Amino acid sequence: MASSVEIFGLLPLYFGLNLQKRVHSRCPIRCLASRDSAAALCSDSVKVNAAVNGVSSAVKEDTKRALVDFNGHMSSNVEVKKRKKDFEEEKLEPLWNDGYGTQTVKDYLDYAKDIIKPDGGPPRWFTPISCGPHLRDSPILLFLPGMDGLGLGLILHHKALGRVFDVRCMHIPVQDRTPFGELVRWVEDTVRAEHASSPNKPIYLVGDSFGGCLALAVASRNPKIDLVVILANPATSFGRSQLQPLLPLLAAMPDELHITVPYLLSFVMGEPLKMATVDINKMQPPTKYAEQLADNLTGLLPSLSGLAEIIPRETLLWKLKLLKSAAAYANSRLHAVKAEVLVLASGKDNMLPSRDEARRLLSSLQNCKVRYFKDNGHTILLEDGVNLLTIIKGTGTYRHSRNHDYVTDFLPPSMSEFKQAVMGNGFFRTYTGPVILSTMEDGKIVRGLAGVPDEGPVLLVGYHMLMGLELFPLVEEFLREKKILIRGIAHPTLFSHLVEGESKEFSFFDFLRLYGALPVSASNLFKLFKTKSHVLLYPGGAREALHRKGEEYKLFWPDQPEFVRMAARFGATIVPFGVVGEDDIAELALDYDDLMKIPIWSDRIRRDNEKYKSFNVRAGMSGEVANQALYLPGLLPKFPGRLYYLFGKPIHTKGREEMLKDKEKARELYLQIKSQVETNLSYLLKKRNEDPYRNIVDRTIYRVLHAPVDQVPTFEP
């Protein structure tokens, strides 16, 4: 009996899923004292409270001498440490494989059959092997499960989260009857122990439904610990649940009918279609998509029978009482929560009024953000369309210390995120048919990005098209051709809460953060150069992107050449570029001058810009460049032409550091860069008239008959 209490009791079937030939920093150990279960766990994931779990020295000794890698080969402690060190020195590259969609709800149900076997033990932490080894200095993430208590609710996200977090999942055995107050203290002990060992690092609490109440309760009791609380449809709204009238019926239902309850709950708690589409390639032909969806649904539905064992009658009644006490406990202490909170709310939650609850928490908590997913159900973390790591990155919630750093805390986009962006922006790419040109060192203009250096630091300096229409194709092409992510320097307003809409959905501004945009500041530019990044800078800023009628392709650059001197300090290569085509894509119907003549709109623009006043990066300047009123112009779409980009000949500053300390020399180079951008614009405006496929009709016909969008011919450079 001692062994079942002292260890996790979770089978190697689940913890041995990852069959890739890379060595994990947490090697599974096989419990020799429990032959019946042959339990497997991770040696450094035993973070249980000794007073609760009674870990004995015998089990600790077994842990030391039973290190086994995922292929079953014995490994010495020295080898394990070396492999871990080798991995920690790695960095995530753009388009890294986050593994999202490789595990599904069917896997969750299959693994649950093994985990629910009774072992007589209390709640405990475990780390799934599928999380893999994490990067050095990764913050800890504690997952607090929902009503099922299994701790498998992050299964879709294990591989992605496991690369950048030290993931530990809470498991509450089916037969466990620990009161809510004791569960709070148990989690709290772990939080305090982790904080004591790493006081400068944040601790992430991801609470799913019931786990959301648990996370808020722990946060309220530990206001001085740096916690990041992520709530997925938290059960703090349990008192207003749509199921309240049915709860007395569940308690009175005969045992022989209880087997039907989990089937009913499965459809109430989740969206089956969203669950079934997780691992389906959205870009395949519709017939193939429908065929795979039918297969997934057919395979998923029979597995639902296992829910009756996950939540047997006695456990269900206990969990309902636990939910009631958890919601009351958490709600009574919301005023004490000082942690950073991110709420994920579903629009089709048939179990809880999650959207209304998100609004309530937003107004009740001191530091809270909300993201709303209108097509998802209660089990949002097990459904398609919600990549938890993507949301964490896009909302600027990932950090290694108390303050978020846009450079050191940045995680590059993964392959699954890139595919999602390509699919989401496919129409615009087809609509604009971008042509990318670059200039080699010998002055030859070629199609593609061969003329742009691969090694940083590189500073791309160019014209900011109306509303930034050029951004998505530009970033996509660098990722597609060079696997380089360009870090865009943007207006700080885009990173404030002021730009969040009432809908609170994952927005354009979240995508900007996801793809590396960061607020303009000297310190951020310094850090980017220091890390040898490819940086995108628009000296014309908002004034250029929100220009007036008749100002197309006119540069509005300030007089100060400061970016030149900083680039020279790091020996950065400067690449001037121009882009044209906005006048072929949309017509500027209402500009700033027009809108200021309309009383309602003028009042709104003045009111909004008064709120944005603290974000004015050119305060104190005079002249045209200082006029940076932010507003949304009125645009009319046009029968589309094409976008054209030309990256000029690289300008090297390496070896010119001393010369460019002279302000006059720096200004000369600054004017040279500006002149080159204007030359590129003139070149493109002239040459696009020679493009036989400038018209979308001609491009579409060519694509149907000959080639994909990025291979449609253009003019000869």
Domains in the chain with CATH codes: 105-395 (3.40.50.1820), 415-586+638-705 (3.40.1130)
Do 14 and 111 touch, CB atoms closer than 8 A?
A: yes
Residue 36 clears pLDDT 50, i.e. is over it: no
Chain centroid, CA 85 distance in Å: 26
The percent of residues above 90 in pLDDT, for the chain, comes to 55
Distance set, CA 635 to CA 467, 579, 592, 632, 711 (Å):
10, 19, 12, 9, 29
Give the pLDDT score at 14: 34
Could you give the residue ranges of the DSSP H alpha helices within 433-553?
Answer: 471-482, 508-514, 522-530, 541-545
Residue 613 CB-density burial (10 A; 0-12 exposed, 13-18 middle, 19+ buried): exposed
Provide Rg for the chain, Cα atoms.
28
Residue 83 clears pLDDT 60, i.e. is over it: no
At residue 183's C-alpha, the angle toward residues 181 and 189, to 5°, is: 105
Query: What six digits make up the tokens of 158?
Result: 């294990």
Averaged pLDDT, 583-594: 93
Q: How many whole angstroms separate alpha carbon 393 and alpha carbon 389?
A: 6
Query: What six digits make up the tokens of 534?
Result: 């490819």
Averaged pLDDT, 406-412: 96
Q: How many whole angstroms separate alpha carbon 347 and alpha carbon 665?
A: 59
Q: How many whole angstroms separate alpha carbon 151 and alpha carbon 94?
A: 30
**Backbone phi and psi for residue 331, each to the nearest 5 degrees, phi listed first:** -65, -35
pLDDT tens string 133-170: 999 999 999 999 998 899 999 999 999 999 999 999 99
For residue 452, which of 438, 435, 462 has the smallest C-alpha distance?
A: 438
At residue 537's C-alpha, the angle toward residues 432 and 659, to 5°, is: 140
Do 203 and 139 touch, CB atoms closer than 8 A?
A: yes
Q: How many whole angstroms separate alpha carbon 404 and alpha carbon 398?
A: 7
- DSSP state, 671? H
Averaged pLDDT, 99-115: 85
**More confident of the two residues 207 and 297:** 207
Distance set, CA 201 to CA 138, 354, 371, 700 (Å):
9, 30, 24, 53
Averaged pLDDT, 24-28: 30
Give the mean pLDDT of the chain.
82
Q: Would you call 341 helix, strand, or coil by DSSP?
A: strand
The amino acid present at 110, given as its one-letter code, is: D
End-to-end CA distance of the chain: 78
Q: What is the largest CA-CA distance in the chain?
A: 89
The amino acid present at 537, given as its one-letter code, is: L
**More confident of the two residues 73 and 173:** 173
Residue 88 clears pLDDT 60, i.e. is over it: no
Averaged pLDDT, 416-427: 85
634-637/586-590 β-pairing: antiparallel
Do 412 and 94 touch, CB atoms closer than 8 A?
A: yes
Q: How many whole angstroms separate alpha carbon 386 and alpha carbon 401?
A: 26
pLDDT band of 492, cuts 50, 70, 90:
confident
Burial 664-696 (b: 16+ CB within 10 A, else e): ebbbebbeebbebbbebbebbbebbeebebbbb
Q: How many whole angstroms separate alpha carbon 26 and alpha carbon 131?
A: 10
| Residues contacting residue 238 through CB under 8 Å, at least 6 positions apart | 323, 324, 326, 327, 352
pLDDT tens string 600-652: 998 988 888 887 776 666 655 555 666 678 888 999 999 889 999 999 999 99
For residue 422, the surrounding DSSP H or E stretch is helix 415-424
Give the pLDDT score at 46: 35
**Backbone phi and psi for residue 220, each to the nearest 5 degrees, phi listed first:** -65, -30
pLDDT band of 440, cuts 50, 70, 90:
very high
Q: Would you call 223 helix, strand, or coil by DSSP?
A: coil
SS (H, E, C) 572-586: CEEEEEEEECHHHHE
Averaged pLDDT, 376-401: 94
**More confident of the two residues 660 and 267:** 660
pTM above 0.75, yes or no: yes
Do 68 and 30 touch, CB atoms closer than 8 A?
A: yes
Q: Would you call 610 helix, strand, or coil by DSSP?
A: helix
The lowest-confidence range among 398-412, 420-434, 563-577 is 420-434
- DSSP state, 561? -
Do 231 and 339 touch, CB atoms closer than 8 A?
A: no
Q: Would you call 435 helix, strand, or coil by DSSP?
A: strand
Q: How many whole angstroms separate alpha carbon 436 and alpha carbon 428?
A: 15
The amino acid present at 257, given as its one-letter code, is: L
- DSSP structure string for 641-668: ---EEEE---EE-TT-TTGGGSHHHHHH
The lowest-confidence range among 227-236, 308-317, 371-380 is 308-317
Give the pLDDT score at 8: 31
Averaged pLDDT, 465-484: 94
At residue 316's C-alpha, the angle toward residues 312 and 321, to 5°, is: 155
Q: How many whole angstroms separate alpha carbon 104 and alpha carbon 130?
A: 13
